[in-house]
Amino acid sequence: MTAFDVELVGKIGSMALINKEYNDIDYNIIARISRELRPGCLWVTSGATEIGRLDYLHRVGNELSGDYNDIKTDYSAQGQAILMETYRRFVDSRFSLRQFLVEHQHFNDEMKREHLRAALMRCPKQGAIPIINYNDPVCSEENRKMEIQALRSVHEKVVECIDNDETAGQIACLVKPRYLLILTGVNGIYTDMHDESTLVKEITADNADELSEKIDYYVGYCDGASRRGANGAAAKLKYVKEPAKLGTTVYIANSKFGIKAVLEGNAPATKIYLKK
| Residue that wins the pLDDT comparison between 68 and 10 | 10
| pLDDT, mean of residues 212-217 | 96
Residue 150 confidence (pLDDT) above 70: no
Confidence of residue 130 (pLDDT cuts 50, 70, 90): very high
Residues 6+ apart with CB under 8 A from 105: 112, 147
Q: How, if at all, do strands 96-102 and 128-134 pair?
A: parallel
Residues of the chain above pLDDT 70, percent: 88
Mean pLDDT of the residues in the chain: 89
Residue 229 confidence (pLDDT) above 50: no
Is residue 236 a contact partner of residue 203, using CB atoms and an 8 Å limit? no
C-alpha span between 69 and 143 (Å, rounded): 12
Is residue 195 a contact partner of residue 267, using CB atoms and an 8 Å limit? no
Give the H/E segment covering residue 36: helix 27-36
Closest CA to 13 of 44, 40, 37: 44
Report the pLDDT value the prediction gives residue 222, as an integer from 0 to 100: 83
Query: 10 Å Cβ neighbour count for 30?
Result: 22
Whole-number Cα distances in Å, 235 to 53, 150, 162: 25, 23, 11
Is residue 45 a contact partner of residue 131, using CB atoms and an 8 Å limit? yes
Rounded to the nearest angstrom, the gap between the alpha carbon of residue 64 and the centroid of all alpha carbons in its chain is 26
Q: Which domains does the chain have, with CATH numbers?
A: 6-274 (3.40.1160.10)
Q: pTM of the predicted model, to two decimals?
A: 0.90
